[in-house]
């Protein structure tokens, strides 16, 4: 019998990161692990629905001092798992998911972004449009590929887009071979979000941006329900 997924893998899955095949398969049939994953995904969506880093206010230095003191002297607050699944979770696992989602920590809003304070330049852009055989959720959207000192990022801007049945996931797409790389999710009502591109990605191959409607089923692969797609062009 397959053991339950490690909470670290579930946290990574909720953020759209790759995990082992065993856990990815297990979570589709295990109610306990699926419930834990759903909680992590909800946490991520809440964090990313803040409106992006432009809407966040930098806290004063005393807030960071208080956070450092609290982490040094008090247990790290956990994401509370379902009662039937409290099985010795690492104390920092909930903080990993919360911090990566950019939610409240110690009374301060923490934005987790890549290259947010470094100069950026747009190297390619795309208008995103519905697929001929896909759902039409209305609205308009575009994407830009940006170069920063820390690497590449993709920024997606959308307005008037109807709500998803599950949640919206942003992908880099290889149009030739249909390869996909998950970048992250758009929170409810979020109109703009920037995602770091993993190191080593060939952006001449993964040259399109895809937004899918993903069900909350714990499956990290693409649902095949593409809502918007466009090719990045210089």
Q: What is the pTM of this model?
A: 0.52
**pLDDT above 70: residue 40:** yes
- Residues 36-48 have a mean pLDDT of 74
Q: What is the pLDDT of residue 8?
A: 80
The mean of the pLDDT values for the chain is 74
- Predicted confidence band at 90 (pLDDT cuts at 50, 70, 90)? very low
Q: What is the pLDDT of residue 63?
A: 64
Region of poorest pLDDT, from 41-50, 123-132, 169-178: 41-50
- Residues 50-63 have a mean pLDDT of 58
Q: What is the pLDDT of residue 92?
A: 36
- Predicted confidence band at 111 (pLDDT cuts at 50, 70, 90)? very low
Cβ atoms of residues 206 and 174 within 8 Å: yes
Secondary structure in 3-state letters for the chain:
CCCCCCHHHHHHHHCCCCCCHHHHHHCCCCHHHHHHHHHHHHHHHHHHCCCCHHHCCCCCHHHHHHHHHHHHHCCCCCCCCCHHHCCCCCCCHHHHHHHHHCCEECCEECCCCCCCCCCEEEEEEEEEECCCCCCCCCCEEEEEEEEECCEEEEEEEEECCCCCCCEEEEEEEECCCCEEEEEEEECCCCCEEEEECCCCCCCCCCCEEEEEEECCCCCCCCCCCEEEEEECEC
**pLDDT above 60: residue 109:** no
124-162 pLDDT, tens per residue?
Answer: 999 999 988 888 888 889 999 999 888 899 999 988 888
CB atoms within 10 A of CB 86: 10
Work out the percent of the chain whose per-residue pLDDT is above 70: 68
The domains of the chain are located at: 7-109, 120-231
**pLDDT above 50: residue 102:** no
- Predicted confidence band at 205 (pLDDT cuts at 50, 70, 90)? very high
Q: What is the pLDDT of residue 116?
A: 44
The encoded tokens of residue 181 equal: 């790389």
**pLDDT above 60: residue 43:** yes
- Residues 88-112 have a mean pLDDT of 39
- Predicted confidence band at 46 (pLDDT cuts at 50, 70, 90)? low
Q: What is the pLDDT of residue 17?
A: 79
The encoded tokens of residue 80 equal: 């509370």
- Residues 6-28 have a mean pLDDT of 82
Quick one: which of 100, 109, 108 has its CA closest to 63? 108
């Amino acid at each position: 019998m397959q053991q339950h997924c490690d909470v670290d893998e579930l946290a990574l899955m909720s953020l759209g990161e790759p995990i082992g095949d065993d856990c990815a398969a297990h979570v589709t049939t295990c109610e306990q692990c699926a419930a834990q994953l759903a909680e992590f995904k909800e946490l991520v969506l809440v964090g990313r629905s803040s409106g992006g880093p432009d809407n966040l206010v930098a806290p004063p230095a005393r807030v960071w001092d208080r956070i450092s003191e609290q982490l040094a002297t008090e247990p790290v607050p956990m994401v509370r798992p379902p009662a039937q699944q409290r099985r010795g979770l690492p104390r920092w696992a909930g903080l990993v998911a919360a911090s990566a989602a950019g939610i409240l920590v110690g009374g301060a809003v923490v934005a987790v972004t890549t290259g947010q304070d470094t100069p950026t330049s747009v190297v390619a852009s795309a208008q995103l449009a519905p697929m001929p055989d896909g759902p039409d959720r209305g609205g308009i959207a575009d994407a830009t590929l940006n170069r920063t000192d820390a690497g590449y990022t993709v920024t997606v801007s959308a307005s008037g887009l109807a709500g998803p049945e599950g949640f919206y996931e942003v992908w880099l797409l290889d149009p030739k071979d249909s390869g996909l790389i998950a970048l992250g999710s758009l929170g409810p009502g979020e109109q703009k979000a920037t995602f770091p591109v993993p190191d080593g990605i060939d952006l001449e191959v993964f040259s399109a941006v895809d937004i899918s409607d993903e069900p909350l089923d714990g499956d990290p692969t693409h649902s095949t329900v593409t809502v918007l797609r466009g090719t990045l062009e210089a």
